[in-house]
Structure 1
Amino acid sequence: MSEHSTDLREAVRRRYAAAALQVAEGGTGCCGPQPTGTDGALDDDIFGSALYSPDERGTLPAEAVAASLGCGNPTAVAELREGDRVLDLGSGGGIDVLLSARRVGPTGRAYGLDMTDEMLRLALANAEKAGAANVEFLKGTIEAIPLPAHAVDVVISNCVINLSVDKPAVFAETFRVLRPGGRLGVSDVVADDSLTAGQRAERGDYVGCIAGALSFTEYREGLEAAGFTDVEITPTHPVADGMHSALVRATKPLTGPDRAPLA
């Protein structure tokens, strides 16, 4: 990994460690390009817990809701089923893991993966408060998932893949841990194809989920290069000029060789 990539990853880690500590002290976390109010808060209709239904928020510990930093609700589109094993990439305070755990039931399992100790501690506390027995939180990066091949039925993520410094590795690792026929259902920030990398950076910084976003074509081609089929990318709402929160769906084919992990 280059020095620049290492610096970006550390900046992301610091941002979300600080968000976890803020929530633990009774505040709320945030993601996104820039504050929209005088108090430094972001528009709740773009990022955060308002993207979940009142019923969903009402079933969870307040700290899990406060730590919601995403740009969508991947559990609403991931088609989770009773007994599924689901992995949340960049699980943060655990909101999507806890919602997934309820949907897959006691015969299923929900894994959360995060690289930030502070978020993992918050997520474990939230799982205990929720009484969730079918969850497990793992420390690691989304570019090197600490699970064996074919370990899960579904991979979800909420506004995290755009933060990765090596997105091809994320797509390859996601493909590896999914069983044949497994599904990807994520929310992420995606840029119009007309925007250059420089123009994306003008609209927001890397740790704010903007500068590192892929374009629609780049996202599709990246997933297909990893082996995914049936790729669908559906924008849901704007987050900056020419940039959108989008729902991304894809499938790992039932047959065919697994792609080798990236070197």
Structure 2
Amino acid sequence: MKENQDLKELVKQRYNELALDSDTLKGCCCGKSPAPPSKKVFTIMSEDYKNLKGYEPDADLGVGCGLPTQYANIKKGDTVIDLGSGAGNDCFIARSEVGESGKVIGIDFAPQMIAKARANALKRGYTNVEFLEGDIENMPLPDNTADVIVSNCVLNLLPQKNIIFKEIYRALKPGGHFCISDVVLNGIFPKEFTDNAAMYAGCIASAIQKEDYLAEIEKVNFTNIRVERTKTVIIPDEVLYEHLDENTIQKYKSGNVGIYSITVTGEKQ
């Protein structure tokens, strides 16, 4: 339990730093390490939002691994929750889809991210977007709140995915659904790779096997579970050498393994 809490604190620190740095630095969560040497930024998993309605460039920190709102079937008047809402990027896109009659709630456990998101919403005069500081393993919301829950490259950062999916089920209204973009693995990775703390904060090492990820969703009794999109994630050598030793890198490269971004949907009956 203490190990899980330590990992969560590491991730929170990383995202507070990203929020503070974001005015001058953008990049995926695998880019700038909490412990330099390198300050080079890599957009390993980030997506191009520019053509999506509601896109706000200063809310896009380049940390997403998919476009969950594209597959979320959000309707006018819906209440949408975004888990790990960051600076508000997916929330503002969801707002353009729910319209003035709907509501969007972003939840993030990094105080600096919440402050940045609230500032972004205030600057634009958005009154139906709310940002709450809280843990997505224990959402500060009542049961049956949302029509749709989305998340973008966040759940894989946290160790207790079974608890998160139970929370998603609890917070959805009957008949509601989720759409999550996340990072999963295929194949057996070197233990030195998956146990690396810096890689953990960088969105990779905390990911679990794709089949295990989908199994956690099934355990919560979601129905119509579908993988809508799969994209291969390639980690540049410079990132590998920043975090791992030569022996671990060679084990990783010689193994029959893959890292993927998937976008998955499911429904609550």
Normalising TM by the smaller chain, what interval?
0.7 to 0.9
Q: Which residue type is aligned with residue 57 of structure 2? A: A
- Please state whether the residue corresponding to 2:179 is helix, strand or coil: strand
The alpha-carbon deviation at position 104 of structure 1 amounts to 0.5
2:200 corresponding residue in structure 1: 206
2:262 corresponding residue in structure 1: 246
1:18 corresponding residue in structure 2: 17
Alignment of 1:107-126 (within 5 A): 107-126=101-120
Alignment CA distance shift 1:239-1:142 (3 Å) = farther
Residues in 2 aligned to 1:202 and 1:151: alpha-carbon distance in whole angstroms: 36
1:261 corresponding residue in structure 2: none
Q: Which residue type is aligned with residue 11 of structure 2? A: V
| TM-score (normalised: structure 1) | 0.85
Residues in 2 aligned to 1:211 and 1:87: alpha-carbon distance in whole angstroms: 26
2:6 corresponding residue in structure 1: 7
Residues in 2 aligned to 1:110 and 1:218: alpha-carbon distance in whole angstroms: 30
The alpha-carbon deviation at position 76 of structure 1 amounts to 1.0
> How many residue pairs align between the two structures?
242
Give the alignment partner of residue 190 of structure 1, picking from 184, 188, 199. 184
Residues in 2 aligned to 1:197 and 1:87: alpha-carbon distance in whole angstroms: 35
Alignment CA distance shift 1:239-1:113 (3 Å) = farther
Residues in 2 aligned to 1:54 and 1:185: alpha-carbon distance in whole angstroms: 20
1:15-74 Cα shifts (integer Å, max 9, x gaps)? 000000001x43224312788xx75111x3x323xx1342338x5443202x23111111
2:30 corresponding residue in structure 1: 32
1:87-121 Cα shifts (integer Å, max 9, x gaps)? 00000000000110111001110000001110000
Q: Is the 8 A contact 1:61 1:130 kept in 2?
A: no
Q: Which residue type is aligned with residue 235 of structure 1? A: T
Q: Which residue type is aligned with residue 246 of structure 1? A: I
Unaligned runs of 5+ in 1: 254-263
Answer yes or no: is 1:41 the counterpart of 2:57.
no
Residues in 2 aligned to 1:229 and 1:138: alpha-carbon distance in whole angstroms: 28
Residues in 2 aligned to 1:101 and 1:200: alpha-carbon distance in whole angstroms: 38
Residues in 2 aligned to 1:32 and 1:175: alpha-carbon distance in whole angstroms: 29
2:254 corresponding residue in structure 1: none
How much is the aligned-residue C-alpha RMSD, in angstroms?
A: 2.2
Alignment CA distance shift 1:197-1:77 (3 Å) = farther
| Identical pairs, percent | 36
Q: Which residue type is aligned with residue 45 of structure 2? A: F
| TM-score (normalised: structure 2) | 0.83
- Please state whether the residue corresponding to 1:211 is helix, strand or coil: coil
Q: Is the 8 A contact 2:107 2:134 kept in 1?
A: yes
Residues in 2 aligned to 1:15 and 1:220: alpha-carbon distance in whole angstroms: 27
Residues in 2 aligned to 1:248 and 1:33: alpha-carbon distance in whole angstroms: 25
2:231 corresponding residue in structure 1: 236
